[in-house]
Amino acid sequence: ELQKIEDMLCPFGFEVYPFQVAWYNELLPPAFHLLLPGPTLAFLVLSTPAMFDQALKPFLQSCHLRMLTDPVDQCVAYHLGRVRESLPELQIEVIADYEVHPNRRPKILAQTAAHVAGAAYYYQRQDVEADPWGNQHISGVCIHPRFGGWFAIRGVVLLPGIEVPDLPPRKPHDCVPTRAARIALLEGFNFHWRDWTYRDAVTPQERYSEEQKAYFSTPPAQRLALLGLVQPSEKPSSPSPDFPFTTHTPKKPGKPSRARSWLSPRVSPPASPGP
């Protein structure tokens, strides 16, 4: 299954990392658990800088685009939907990173999933000894060993009924090991995310192109107009049933806490313009 999923996603700028549901559930309170047996196989899916050219642009040129608020979410939904359709016997469940329950609780805590899958290290204030932030709320951020912050977590693929009790754990690479570097990373992410510099916490193999940066710096409601797909005054239509994912509503920051928190669902702070 892993090879087939990789073959369908990796040529389009995605990466896929397997993990056991138990690894994820062990770090979270019951309200956030995935309700599947612990050894159930799951995959974390993230997008690299290459996704913009290899997946998004061809998707926009195809007939698949609907007038939703976020073409990237549509594109990701399309590719994850292809995976589900290609393996109908497995009854695959796909959870996009922005999906929420009716009570607004996230369906998946993407950064926690990325950490347990070994895809990216989730740096939090608890990782800084004697941190300097007092009562300030400090959101955590995942850093990829090859792309730094120039990537985005897109979702999780669950395979109910497929259990892998012998899957070896994959620890994420601690690529920001010093206290000073972690302080710089978390302060850059929380207070200066607009300048993109926190993403260079490690020297990246590849960054977003200037075109891609311009796209993600544009407010979501204006991105269709930027792409020439709709006039700024037009309102996008309702989500199509072909893309049954809910639209993302920014989360409010939580209360300040010095304890390790695996409950931050997004790659970026709530005010960030994009992945």
Give me the tens of pLDDT residue by residue for the chain, a chain 275 residues long.
Answer: 678 899 999 999 999 999 999 999 999 999 999 999 999 999 999 999 999 999 998 998 886 667 655 889 989 999 999 999 998 888 899 999 999 999 999 999 999 999 999 999 999 999 999 999 999 999 999 999 999 999 999 999 999 999 999 999 999 999 999 999 999 999 999 999 999 999 999 999 999 999 999 999 988 878 877 877 764 444 444 333 333 322 233 333 333 443 445 554 444 343 344 57
Q: How far apart are CA 153 and CA 11, in angstroms?
A: 17
Listing from the earlier edge strand, what are the strands of the sheet with 93-96?
Answer: 14-20, 40-47, 152-163, 93-96
Q: How far apart are CA 233 and CA 21, in angstroms?
A: 44
Range of the domain at 213: 1-227
Asked whether residue 173 is domain-assigned, the answer is yes
Asked whether residue 243 is domain-assigned, the answer is no
Spatial CB neighbours of 193, under 8 Å, sequence gap ≥ 6: 268, 269, 271, 272
Listed in sequence order, the DSSP H helices in 175-260 are 179-191, 210-217, 223-226
Asked whether residue 12 is domain-assigned, the answer is yes
Q: How many domains does the chain have?
A: 1
Asked whether residue 66 is domain-assigned, the answer is yes
Asked whether residue 149 is domain-assigned, the answer is yes
Asked whether residue 252 is domain-assigned, the answer is no
Asked whether residue 55 is domain-assigned, the answer is yes
pTM: 0.83
Asked whether residue 42 is domain-assigned, the answer is yes
